Amino acid sequence: MSREYFHVVFQVTKSIVFEVSYYRLGRNERADFTTEAMEFNKPKTDYCCCGQCQDHLLPKQSAAMWFYKKWDRLHLHDLSDEEYEAIKIDLLRLEAIYNSIRKSCDSTEKEELRDFRFREIKELSKLPVKKPPIDAKAFAQKKEDLLNWLIDKYCEEEGIPSVIRDLIEDGDFTVHELVSMGFEYGDIYES
């Protein structure tokens, strides 16, 4: 399975950023998942604290801290397919909450994915900090849009026909419910 390698940096506050990465460094045979936090000094000429200091830097009730606590157990590990997909979904959540910059490439590309330059991260930190979403209706719509996108992606990858996809998208049935109703997996996956 081809995977997207990525570096994403999130602006948590005016002085703190949080980076999430999944890529193959140098001649390593496998990709690694990493997170780190950085805090700028006052003139933003350098970091006063950076690296594995998420517990110290990230606001305790922040989405960035939630992500870090949830996924820190996989730091410097390759990811299973399920872990990789779940992290990608959680990254979408963080991107909805924070200003961010992203670099990515397909894992089959020969060129190595480069880190962000200091000035790129500094420019991100100068943006007005996003206000947390408070509109419950807009949040519910984003959640529904994300779910529909995930269903479409899953059905497309698995070759599930649109008639069955519509039943799943409408929330009428799950794939497992369709199977329990007598559909064979072959019926569901045939075009």
pLDDT tens digits along 86-131: 888 888 889 988 999 988 777 656 556 677 899 999 999 999 998 7
| Rounded-to-integer distance, Cα 81 and Cα 31, Å | 13
pLDDT tens digits along 145-178: 777 777 777 777 777 666 666 666 666 656 556 5
| Rounded-to-integer distance, Cα 68 and Cα 88, Å | 14
| Rounded-to-integer distance, Cα 17 and Cα 151, Å | 32
| Rounded-to-integer distance, Cα 116 and Cα 187, Å | 47
Tell me if the pTM is above 0.85.
no
